[in-house]
Structure 1
């Protein structure tokens, strides 16, 4: 059963009124950009939950998106955009739900977090949670996607002002070293989601896509370093695979270590990574 093409037209209007690109709007509603593109192109139906998130984020009525005609009303134009009240969550309810889910997962682990806990953290009802994300799998997938987007944005900001590729790589290593409470929090989420990826096909696909992007970022930095002469001639893809695996293993050891014991510390991790880069990637220094 095909979706009314006018629904896609209304969604396009919402995106245009939001002043966002399709990719940016997909990020706001925590939706796979390719799914949004296919739905707008008519090869995929929007789900009810996706339309709910679009309506909430766009500040329009979900009934208008669906073309629900009320007696004495017209559907040619959207209702007046709803103004956010002081009590409305920043970024809209869907993003609030996802952010609180990620926070609770970091604190307790995914399987210890109930929908009721998320609803309480968002000061809303469980029905409102299910309205935007019908099942736990939907919520987990959205949480993974949000973490991916946030991590990508942090990486881009971190290396924006780097002097050269060697500096870029040092910045990426620093970003991945769990020193601060926020960095430890981020790693705790990822470790929990890794375990879930082994059980969930949808999360597994996201996990694979995240690591494809992450390794591609590192490989691009190494490739530029080779071109700049700051790194020796190596295969960027292979070097990125080894380095990211080392980062993951060391970060896991850091998080598993109790502060004040003889376990692996963030400083140990950082030093080990810099020594590895110097031994395997850094170009030989001139005599």
Structure 2
């Protein structure tokens, strides 16, 4: 999957990304979860990367899916820290990224307070002083983990949404990609939930997160506006509708993450809201159904 771009163009960028990362093709193939032969064919432009492979490649090499594709679509607003689109990585970028990814995993599983810098050093296979060479303290590590969560979400959206022209299908896929039901998504939600808790404190210093959330909200708003133009979504204030929808998703997601709600109920509640408040319906048909229902009532 690489949109309308010729596979050889994507292949050239993929080769560049692997070269910058310092990883062997075998390691990259393992990270993506495909046979090395398949990767070689994709790197030679003889086959297209699937969406899942693009996500794996971007995650393994540290660039974004958007950069690999040379994508200029507006299916997802850019994150506030989008320097990885340029992919001009310094030599120290790979160890720094490896440390941030290990911190992301540990913070997501155990929480900020429970994780020590020594734990991150052990998970990364480096010394504690090496961690401090790249990050002054644990707060900086958490900031890096948050940036990584934003990147993961952005990469998924570009990889999976660019080929979906129908706004209603794109919205459903967008919400599914941002739900806490997948393994990786649960890790992201854990980081986001901890971020919200930290932002509620008076000494919060996560200045970039509101911008990251605004990016997500704009992505939903743009999708709603596309659907309103084509007639598949109800008319109205798209900004307000995006605020309501993202707030609902946040609330339901927290319930799932904390075990208050199961995945099936989450899906039903979200679907019900979309049908009632977002999807365009035939008012005449709705009126007729309501009238028929009253007639049948004793």
- Once the two structures are superposed, what CA deviation does each residue of 1:105-151 show, in whole Å capped at 9, x if it has no partner? 11110111110000000111011000011122221211111111111
Given the alignment of the two structures, is residue 264 of structure 1 paired with residue 264 of structure 2, yes or no? no
Structure 1 counterpart of 2:242 = 240
Runs of 4+ deviating beyond 4 Å: 32-36
Structure 2 counterpart of 1:151 = 153
Q: TM-score, normalised on structure 2?
A: 0.64
CA–CA separation in structure 1 for the residues paired with 2:184 and 2:136: 29
Does the Cα contact within 8 Å between 1:105 and 1:113 map onto a contact in 2? yes
Q: Which has the higher contact order (CA 8 A, sep 6+)?
A: 2
**270, 273, 279: which one aligns with 2:270:** 273
Q: Report deviation, 1:157.
A: 1.8
Q: Which moved more, 1:115-124 or 1:193-202?
A: 193-202
Given the alignment of the two structures, is residue 282 of structure 1 paired with residue 279 of structure 2, yes or no? yes
Q: Secondary structure at the residue paired with 1:110? A: coil
Does the Cα contact within 8 Å between 1:141 and 1:202 map onto a contact in 2? no
Q: Report deviation, 1:236.
A: 0.8
Structure 2 counterpart of 1:49 = none
Q: Secondary structure at the residue paired with 2:208? A: helix
CA-based RMSD of the aligned residues comes to 2.9
Does the Cα contact within 8 Å between 1:174 and 1:270 map onto a contact in 2? no
Structure 2 counterpart of 1:184 = 186
CA–CA separation in structure 2 for the residues paired with 1:182 and 1:149: 12
Does the Cα contact within 8 Å between 2:217 and 2:243 map onto a contact in 1? yes
Does the Cα contact within 8 Å between 2:62 and 2:97 map onto a contact in 1? yes
Structure 2 counterpart of 1:249 = 251
Structure 2 counterpart of 1:140 = 142
Structure 1 counterpart of 2:92 = 56
CA–CA separation in structure 1 for the residues paired with 2:82 and 2:165: 34
The change in CA–CA distance for 1:33 and 1:169 in structure 2 (over 3 A counts) is: closer
CA–CA separation in structure 1 for the residues paired with 2:20 and 2:185: 32
CA–CA separation in structure 2 for the residues paired with 1:188 and 1:35: 24
The unaligned stretches of length 5 or more in structure 1 are 1-16, 37-52, 58-91, 258-262
- Once the two structures are superposed, what CA deviation does each residue of 1:21-74 show, in whole Å capped at 9, x if it has no partner? xxx9xx959xx75899xxxxxxxxxxxxxxxx93423xxxxxxxxxxxxxxxxx
Q: Report deviation, 1:162.
A: 1.9
The unaligned stretches of length 5 or more in structure 2 are 1-18, 22-57, 64-79, 286-298
Q: Report deviation, 1:272.
A: 1.0
The change in CA–CA distance for 1:136 and 1:168 in structure 2 (over 3 A counts) is: same
Given the alignment of the two structures, is residue 224 of structure 1 paired with residue 226 of structure 2, yes or no? yes
CA–CA separation in structure 2 for the residues paired with 1:142 and 1:135: 11
CA–CA separation in structure 2 for the residues paired with 1:54 and 1:186: 26
CA–CA separation in structure 1 for the residues paired with 2:157 and 2:82: 22
Does the Cα contact within 8 Å between 1:177 and 1:266 map onto a contact in 2? no
Q: Report deviation, 1:184.
A: 2.0
Q: Report deviation, 1:219.
A: 0.1
Structure 1 counterpart of 2:108 = 106
Does the Cα contact within 8 Å between 2:108 and 2:188 map onto a contact in 1? yes
Structure 1 counterpart of 2:133 = 131
Q: Secondary structure at the residue paired with 1:54? A: coil
Q: Report deviation, 1:191.
A: 1.1
